[in-house]
């Protein structure tokens, strides 16, 4: 009787299990293979290959998550479409380089069919061994010949460690950030900001209570930048002198490939000697949008994603100093998240009908900016939207429906999942918001092949032949805004083609999402023209920020396109150039007053950036300055303010190839503050 009861119980359990399980798994992961195999040492690059089956039509996408020893599960490479061959889906390779602690890592792969909603997952353990085995630190090269991996023995719980390094025999040294000790694991650091083929000494410092103890010194000689990588030509026009800010002694230059040469992103000293580079493989021209305090960088990236029609700016990347991937998301998975939140303008462009009916919209690429200065490790990024409006909108004379290019601002959590968005087409009704009938102030239009335009997917038969580049948003800034009387902050957004810098009521995700004010010509402020300038306002500006962590003036690079066009033949020598600007603004009187409005001696019709340095000088990168028909340059200019005026003196000027942005830093670990 007892045996019969057990058999009945087993049969019942099997029946329940069969009812719970689907008749067949529509998505099934077949293999998860690392190369080289486990175990490997810290710093070793491992390429993961994953295959899966999907009985649905697909496409099948793959996400990679990593859990470090004793850590949390972090998304590293979000859902991206695999390739299908002979009925098997293969994920795009996941290239992973552990540079943290030794121990057992968990690599979790999720395969998902977004059409059916079905998923499958698999988790594989991978052992990572320490670099250091004794009491002496170990230092090894990385794939970047100017970056070393320094590993020291474990330090006590509650203590912290950093690495000090300098050229052999030099007096000035550089320090990495302090890192909390995590015994019994060793401590590993990426050491960067070193000249090529140069001998360095380095050692660890351990901080415990009030005591700082230096560890043993080790030597390391950097490699040579490969000859296949083009070195950007730099010319010093004004050398550093007694008034130059030597504390911000590193210049990070983000070349734009405007001359067709794919220069690496480069950091130099004030004399133009290279200290670091990042070289995305051609034809990629990944742009650094912001350096982060932890020795990583945010980039708009190229590559294969969900849209088979373009590789252009389909990714957001975070990479470390050695060029290793830290985090990645892509346009396709961001669209899926936005659509689930009700953002109807985020439809995939590759699926749009042709001709697209009036009212239809799609999201194409990331562009210009991603920042990570929002609270709780949140980020914000731009993506462009195309939307079809009735014939005649914005004065179009073709008689056909009009493709208008707008933008979306997307806020992401630390795992780069969408938590908030701002759609410019939801604010196109005029008033304090935008006005769809206010075209780009200089009438800018786009085709898919035009310079400065995104790929366009809704143009074609039945649509006006030129898209209207309505906004051309180019910079984001998170403003803690102490003037609010609260600790919550808003988003400051620069629109080049409206000549406006705008404040969005974000309030850390609890605001209305409305535009609170528009600063610029025909906006909501008046200009206190203390210089009697014939055209005092900013126009077609770039890199609008509020200095000194939101307590200082608004700085920007004033390209001046509208000013120069409006002044025409009356444009004098100083009026025909781009300007470096800093403006105070009073939200109670709605008045703007210039603090800095300096002629930079050249006209840059695009790009550019600005920064206030530690010594209160101003740093401007002039972006896109034509020298000849084929040569475009940037001038990296430091201005020492002249007391009692809105101008100043150049105390540094380095000419380089055209750059999207540039930053001054004390080291590769200390980017400019927000």
pLDDT recorded at residue 481 = 67
Give dist(CA 387, CA 470) in Å, integer.
Answer: 11
Residues 6+ apart with CB under 8 A from 351: 362
pLDDT recorded at residue 6 = 36
Contact 127/208 with Cβ under 8 angstroms?
Answer: no
Other residues' Cβ atoms within 10 Å of the Cβ of residue 164? 17
Give dist(CA 455, CA 154) in Å, integer.
Answer: 51
Contact 594/581 with Cβ under 8 angstroms?
Answer: yes
Strand partners for 307: none
Strand 160-167 and strand 179-180: the pairing is antiparallel
Residues of the chain predicted below pLDDT 50: 1-23, 484
pLDDT recorded at residue 451 = 84
CA torsion through residues 147, 148, 154, 155, sign = negative
CA 81 to chain centre: 22
Give dist(CA 286, CA 316) in Å, integer.
Answer: 9
pLDDT recorded at residue 22 = 44
Give dist(CA 204, CA 402) in Å, integer.
Answer: 62
Q: What is the pTM of this model?
A: 0.94
Same fold, 24-129 and 138-221: yes
Residues 6+ apart with CB under 8 A from 125: 38, 104, 105, 106, 107
pLDDT recorded at residue 4 = 37
pLDDT digits (tens, 9 = 90+) for 222-240: 999 999 999 999 999 999 9
DSSP states of 206-225: EEETTEEEE---EEEE----
| Phi and psi at residue 202, to the nearest 5° | -150, 150
pLDDT recorded at residue 572 = 73
pLDDT digits (tens, 9 = 90+) for 646-665: 999 999 999 999 999 999 99
- Of 164, 281, 140, give the one whose Cα is nearest residue 222: 140
Residues 6+ apart with CB under 8 A from 339: 346, 347
Contact 579/599 with Cβ under 8 angstroms?
Answer: yes
Contact 470/405 with Cβ under 8 angstroms?
Answer: yes
Give dist(CA 669, CA 175) in Å, integer.
Answer: 8
Cα angle at 124 between 121 and 129, to 5 degrees? 155
Buried-state track 512-544, b at ≥16 Cβ within 10 A, e below 16 = ebebebbbbbebbbebbeeeebebbbbbbbbbb
Contact 35/47 with Cβ under 8 angstroms?
Answer: yes
pLDDT recorded at residue 203 = 98
pLDDT recorded at residue 536 = 97
- What the block records as the tokens of 635 is 């001038």
pLDDT recorded at residue 486 = 55
pLDDT recorded at residue 19 = 34
Give dist(CA 355, CA 321) in Å, integer.
Answer: 46
pLDDT digits (tens, 9 = 90+) for 139-158: 999 999 999 999 999 999 99
> Burial, 128: exposed, middle or buried (Cβ in 10 Å; 0-12, 13-18, 19+)?
buried
- Of 482, 543, 505, 507, give the one whose Cα is nearest residue 374: 507
For the chain, the structural domain boundaries read: 24-129, 138-221, 305-314+323-526
pLDDT recorded at residue 551 = 86
Contact 427/438 with Cβ under 8 angstroms?
Answer: no
Residue 357, H or E segment: none
pLDDT recorded at residue 622 = 97
pLDDT digits (tens, 9 = 90+) for 389-432: 999 999 999 999 999 999 999 999 999 999 999 999 999 999 99
Give dist(CA 546, CA 539) in Å, integer.
Answer: 17
- What the block records as the tokens of 288 is 């650094």
Other residues' Cβ atoms within 10 Å of the Cβ of residue 274? 19
Q: On the CB side of 142, how many CA atoms lie within 13 Å of its CA?
A: 26
- What the block records as the tokens of 275 is 């200290």
Q: Which CATH architecture has domain 24-129?
A: Sandwich (2.60)
> Burial, 433: exposed, middle or buried (Cβ in 10 Å; 0-12, 13-18, 19+)?
middle
pLDDT recorded at residue 452 = 87
Give dist(CA 327, CA 94) in Å, integer.
Answer: 11
Domain 138-221 class?
mainly beta
Residues 6+ apart with CB under 8 A from 203: 137, 163, 164, 214, 215, 216, 217, 218
Give dist(CA 422, CA 381) in Å, integer.
Answer: 10
Give dist(CA 636, CA 640) in Å, integer.
Answer: 14
What secondary structure, in 3-state letters, does 112-167 show? EECCCCCEEEEEEEEEEECCCCCCCCEEEECCCCCCEEEEECCCCCCCEEEEEEEE
């Amino acid at each position: 009787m007892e045996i019969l009861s057990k058999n009945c119980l087993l049969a019942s359990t099997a029946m329940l299990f069969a009812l719970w399980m689907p008749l067949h798994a529509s998505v099934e992961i077949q293999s998860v293979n690392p190369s080289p195999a486990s175990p490997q040492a810290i710093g070793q690059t491992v390429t993961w290959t994953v295959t899966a089956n999907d009985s649905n039509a697909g496409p099948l996408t793959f996400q990679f998550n990593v859990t470090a020893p004793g850590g949390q599960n972090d998304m590293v490479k979000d859902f991206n479409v695999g390739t299908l061959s002979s009925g098997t889906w293969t994920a795009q390779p996941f290239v992973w380089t552990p540079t943290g602690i030794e121990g057992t890592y968990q690599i979790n792969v999720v395969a998902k069919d977004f059409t059916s909603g079905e998923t499958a997952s698999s988790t594989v353990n991978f052992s990572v061994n320490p670099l250091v085995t004794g009491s002496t630190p170990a230092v090894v090269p990385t794939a970047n010949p100017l970056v070393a991996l320094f590993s020291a023995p474990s330090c006590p719980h509650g203590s912290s460690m950093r690495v000090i390094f300098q050229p052999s025999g030099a007096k000035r040294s550089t320090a990495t950030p302090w890192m909390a000790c995590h015994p019994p694991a060793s401590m590993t650091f990426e050491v960067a900001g070193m000249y090529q083929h140069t001998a360095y000494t380095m050692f660890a410092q351990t901080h415990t209570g009030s005591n700082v103890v230096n560890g043993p010194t080790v030597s390391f000689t950097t490699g040579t930048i490969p000859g296949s990588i083009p070195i950007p030509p730099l010319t010093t026009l004004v050398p550093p002198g007694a008034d130059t800010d030597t504390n911000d002694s590193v210049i990070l230059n983000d070349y734009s490939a405007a001359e067709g040469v794919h220069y690496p992103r480069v950091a130099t000293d004030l004399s133009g000697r290279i200290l670091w580079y990042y070289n995305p493989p051609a034809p990629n021209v990944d742009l650094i949008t912001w350096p982060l305090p932890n020795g990583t960088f945010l980039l708009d990236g190229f590559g294969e994603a969900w849209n088979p029609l373009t590789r252009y700016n389909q990714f957001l990347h975070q990479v470390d100093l050695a060029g290793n991937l830290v985090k990645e998301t892509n346009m396709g998975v961001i669209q899926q998240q936005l659509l689930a939140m009700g953002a109807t303008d985020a439809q995939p462009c590759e699926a749009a009908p042709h001709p697209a009916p009036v009212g239809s919209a799609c999201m194409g690429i990331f562009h210009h900016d991603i920042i990570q200065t929002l609270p709780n490790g949140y980020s914000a990024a731009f993506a462009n939207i195309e939307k079809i409006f009735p014939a005649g909108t914005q004065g179009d004379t073709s008689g056909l429906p009009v493709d208008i290019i707008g933008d979306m601002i997307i806020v992401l959590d630390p795992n780069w999942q969408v938590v908030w968005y701002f759609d410019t087409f939801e604010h196109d009704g005029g008033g304090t918001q935008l006005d769809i009938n206010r075209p780009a102030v200089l009438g800018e239009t786009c085709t898919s092949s035009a310079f400065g335009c995104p790929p366009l997917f809704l143009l074609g038969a039945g649509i006006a032949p030129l898209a209207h580049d309505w906004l051309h948003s180019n910079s984001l800034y998170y403003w803690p805004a102490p003037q609010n009387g609260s600790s919550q902050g808003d988003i400051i957004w620069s629109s080049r083609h409206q000549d406006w810098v705008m404040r969005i009521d974000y309030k850390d995700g609890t605001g209305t999402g409305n535009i609170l004010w528009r600063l610029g010509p025909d906006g909501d402020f008046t200009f206190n023209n203390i210089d009697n300038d014939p055209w005092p306002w900013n126009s077609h500006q770039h890199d609008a920020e509020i200095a000194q962590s939101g307590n200082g003036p608004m700085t920007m690079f004033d390209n001046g396109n509208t000013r120069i066009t409006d002044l025409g033949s009356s444009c004098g020598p100083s009026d025909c150039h781009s300007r470096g600007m800093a403006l105070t603004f009073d939200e109670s009187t709605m008045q703007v007053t210039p603090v800095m409005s300096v002629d930079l001696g050249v006209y840059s019709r695009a790009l550019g950036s600005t920064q206030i340095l530690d010594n209160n000088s101003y740093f401007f990168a002039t972006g896109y300055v034509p020298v000849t028909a084929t040569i475009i340059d940037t001038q990296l200019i430091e201005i020492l303010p002249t007391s009692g005026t809105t101008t100043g003196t150049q105390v540094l000027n380095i000419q380089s190839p055209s750059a999207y942005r540039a930053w001054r830093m004390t080291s590769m670990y200390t980017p400019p503050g927000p």
